[in-house]
Structure 1
């Protein structure tokens, strides 16, 4: 590195009186290393150290002062020559002679600013660990090639899907996660990124743990997983489609009537807390009433145990049924803008009933949202209504149970910030619908060979403070109750 000494402007007392010390030091350093965006060269760092040393030694014996400065000067010149910076060595010696005589307080302020602003860089020992260079030989993808030939069930257990489904998914996401190779390194193949992401979702293992099976650094693993989750959300967006027309809602209602004997039901709604680590500088924002940090997953499911709608990311502190108020679905429900079919009669009756969603006690009663009667007001007739409603509402509970069982990421706190945790959660929900359609029998039906077991780690949300519904909503519930005890009785 060459330095142009002609551009050097020594400090002056007048300059210190007019400008603040920070501006002086910034301008002085900029004149040395040609711009604020370039790393400070070695001789500038040594000069900063020298300036501080002169401040510290001015109170000791003059002979000690001279010897210390002479020793430091020799050390700096030796280091600069060793690093082949001869021109900087000459410049350093010249600059030491040009430090102006200023009073101690001003000199101390300037020295402290320079010292605090200097950057210490640690030399990289090597570009990559040797064992990481052998990913092609020892990665888990190599083992999976052998497993796919002979052990189909182990392959399905590893990814939560069979090989055909995996290859179809790979063909969908490859265009969005494939990166270009450079002259410095090869990019990660798309199949390894997808395999890594699916394994992370299936087990919930930490990045430090996954690096030994994926043969990747934790930083590469983090980037690959988030990138792949974003691609999964995009390519699988058609697998979670919210109904837009009355005909689509009627199809869902027919499934609930056939499977659960609750006609005019168009969805089961519920919300769960997804545990995460405490976000930095968040205080109690994500701390829920259950005693852990979380984000809220609000969802609506159909009778086939598939998601119709998901809303992820609300902080866990808003832990009551009022979370529904802040979702787009809740807004459309309040404004009667869901495009639901007109009220229609139930079987064996001419009386018309509105199309409704079903939920638990956490939600407020509404003309299009039915909930159970409270335990305090139960009688034999209301008990029949509660049981019929429960058979339909349990579908959303089943969905949460399935994704908790199949995806181990939900069986422990997600060690990511809330934004990334929401992306991981959404990717798992989209994968749930994808696998429910592509691998219905093997995915939805539990088997004893799965590594993970279903644990209730998705906690229910707390009941809303305003539980009383309108008179119209209560009347609709009473009419459903009368129907289930008369013409609709099983």
Structure 2
């Protein structure tokens, strides 16, 4: 009897306690959710977008420094990309305009500033800035790639490139200069050593071909650093296209002022294999006179891709920082940057490429370093040499044949003896 009374009392106490706790919860006010942080409510009243409009009207040079392009060039990109990045207003808030979205993205590419810094400059949330940059870069690549990042597909297009190489750099039958760079990224989560390179950084690899005017005609982005160390060319679709004859390159034609035919080719450095359609320098050990001449002439032609990378890293300074994005997003940023670079190079934008930015030669053909070199290449570092290769005898014979052309009366340049 006593036990039953004790049990009933305990149950009554528990019920009373539960009722008290439940009553306190009812009295507690629901915490109000913040829809917009106070400092973000000034968007449209102050911020970098307001400065951009003022510069566009009153300070053209200031606008160029802000986005690395002129107002007309900005409007061209805006017209192209607006249909893909425009958003609808809602009853609760106004959408961020396509103009502001493009401005934020171009400012990120031009400076490499953090998303937090851009968020304060534009009075927009950090996560919103991150989303805007990624989606706008993807849209820029989508609308520009067919016109400004297209590998030549006809023999006439390749011949035009070769003509420019010979006229400007005196290298015959050249289809472009090939090189690869590592883009530093933050360590991807749970990726192990996949993107880790032998320089102690995490990176993705950019392989590209540039023509005689610093215009990229082929790009391949995203090769993992671990694979690149075994040879970036081996993992590119360019090699497969060359092997399978999909590039529609012209058949071998005579060298200038000579009757012997010679195949069209790319030029590269020691990171690439020697092939009949890909020339590289002779090993630097115990070079004779003719080999030094060949290396000098090839170096002049190959310098265009080094300068193309240097110009892009100098003007789009996101490549002077470690890009704190996932590898797949770094690929989107890089492809958009390459499209913008090619667009501005093609329209000869002096805002993007001012005088003396690239290397140039004086009357004596001495190379004067371009202004981009004073800042260095940023985080775009050379890819390490791949594994040892045994070139075919045919490739060696072709290189020797081109070497003899460069020292022959019809192929030599008057100044080359002064620079070897």
Partner of 2:400: 478
Partner of 1:77: 22
CA contact 2:69–2:352 (8 Å) conserved in 1? yes
Q: Looking at CA atoms only, which structure, 1 or 2, has the larger radius of gyration?
A: 1
Partner of 1:217: 125
Partner of 2:364: none
1:407-436 Cα distance to aligned partner (Å, 9 max, x none): 110111001000111100111111000111
- The 1:131–1:335 alpha-carbon spacing in structure 2 relative to 1, beyond 3 Å, is same
Query: Counterparts of 2:337 and 2:32 in 1: how far apart (Å)?
Result: 38
Query: Counterparts of 1:368 and 1:203 in 2: how far apart (Å)?
Result: 38
CA contact 1:161–1:439 (8 Å) conserved in 2? no
CA contact 1:357–1:369 (8 Å) conserved in 2? yes
Per-residue deviation at 1:443? 2.2
CA contact 2:227–2:235 (8 Å) conserved in 1? no
Query: Counterparts of 2:179 and 2:20 in 1: how far apart (Å)?
Result: 70
1:209-232 Cα distance to aligned partner (Å, 9 max, x none): 111111100111011111110111
- The 1:355–1:71 alpha-carbon spacing in structure 2 relative to 1, beyond 3 Å, is farther
CA contact 2:263–2:277 (8 Å) conserved in 1? yes
Please show how residues 241-280 of structure 1 align to structure 2 within 5 Å: 241-280=150-189
Task: Name the SS of the counterpart of 2:176 in structure 1.
Answer: strand
Partner of 2:411: 488
Query: Counterparts of 1:483 and 1:142 in 2: how far apart (Å)?
Result: 60
Partner of 2:85: 177
CA contact 1:268–1:300 (8 Å) conserved in 2? yes
- The 1:409–1:71 alpha-carbon spacing in structure 2 relative to 1, beyond 3 Å, is farther
Partner of 2:296: 387
Please show how residues 446-485 of structure 1 align to structure 2 within 5 Å: 446=355, 453-485=375-407
Query: Counterparts of 1:195 and 1:377 in 2: how far apart (Å)?
Result: 54
Per-residue deviation at 1:337? 2.7
Q: Confirm or deny that 1:293 pairs with 2:202.
A: yes
Query: Counterparts of 1:446 and 1:68 in 2: how far apart (Å)?
Result: 87
Greater CA drift, 337-346 or 260-269:
337-346
Query: Counterparts of 2:396 and 2:129 in 1: how far apart (Å)?
Result: 52
Greater helix fraction, Structure 1 or Structure 2: 1
Per-residue deviation at 1:270? 0.6
Greater CA drift, 326-335 or 440-449:
440-449
1:434-460 Cα distance to aligned partner (Å, 9 max, x none): 11112433422357999x944442011
Structure number with higher relative contact order (C-alpha < 8 Å, ≥ 6 residues apart): 2
2:309 maps to which of 373, 378, 400: 400
Query: Counterparts of 2:155 and 2:230 in 1: how far apart (Å)?
Result: 27
In structure 1, runs of 5+ residues without a counterpart are 1-61, 85-121
Q: TM-score, normalised by structure 1?
A: 0.76
Q: Confirm or deny that 1:351 pairs with 2:274.
A: no
Partner of 2:58: 150
CA contact 2:309–2:377 (8 Å) conserved in 1? no
- The 1:175–1:253 alpha-carbon spacing in structure 2 relative to 1, beyond 3 Å, is same
Q: TM-score, normalised by structure 2?
A: 0.88
1:357-392 Cα distance to aligned partner (Å, 9 max, x none): 000000111110000000114111000000100111
Query: Counterparts of 2:111 and 2:136 in 1: how far apart (Å)?
Result: 16
Q: How many residues align?
A: 392
